[in-house]
Amino acid sequence: MPGNFSRARPVLGIIGMAFMAFANFYGAVSICRVMLLAPTSVWTYGDLGEWVLGEPGRYLTVVVQVTGCLIIPCAFLVSAERYWMATSQALSLRRRGPFSWLSQSCLRASCLLSRKELALRL
């Protein structure tokens, strides 16, 4: 997020952040409204999927949730070092904006974490 905010500049970054905040708020309100209509036996996303779509809905909901939980960290760890190299070169050539130090700090931390994870795997 800080890297995207730095590249977008403050005005577009704030507009994008406001849009994402609205989307998250709308999603949370929608799930809360559905949960208010659901029977008391519905506790998890899997239960909610089964209540809405039957047995396939439970499996679909759980598979989507687990896939998201697994793919996002893997994609982050795999691409962090390559992204850091390209971004650090681009940021050093460009005029430094007010948010570039924040994005560089976050990228450095993510590369250190990905290198640590890689070392633990070997």
Tracing tokens 């948010």 back to the chain, one arrives at 99
Give the mean model confidence (pLDDT) for residues 10-23: 88
> What does the pLDDT look like over 63-91, one tens digit per residue?
998 888 888 777 666 666 566 666 656 55
At 66, phi and psi to the nearest 5? Answer: -65, -40
| pTM beyond 0.85, yes or no | no
DSSP 99: T
Q: What is the distance, to the nearest Å, from the Cα of residue 3 to the centroid of all Cα atoms in its chain?
A: 13
Range of the domain at 40: 2-121
Domain count for the chain, please give it: 1
